[in-house]
Amino acid sequence: MTRPDRLIYMANQIAAFFAAQPGDAAIGVAGHLKSFWDPHMRAEILAWRAAGGEGLSPVALEAVARLEAAAPAR
């Protein structure tokens, strides 16, 4: 699997934004990814997390985990 550098960068930027806001940052990031990212982008970042998630910040990693937990079973 090729490292999705652009998606990692974007997820980390979104995580940095939500980390500076009140409330649970990971929930905010997961909501943003669900609402604004294309399904293919979400699938790619989920696959990257499943492969170890290298490069994702702790908040982004937690958000992707929450996104995966909320995804319908396939």
Helix (H, G, I), strand (E, B) or coil at 13: helix
Domain count along the chain: 1
Tens of pLDDT, residues 56-70: 999 999 999 999 998
Q: Could you list the residue range(s) of the whole structural domain that residue 31 is in?
A: 5-70
pTM passes above 0.75: yes
- Tell me the C-alpha distance between 19 and 13, whole Å: 10
Tens of pLDDT, residues 9-36: 999 999 999 999 999 999 999 999 999 9
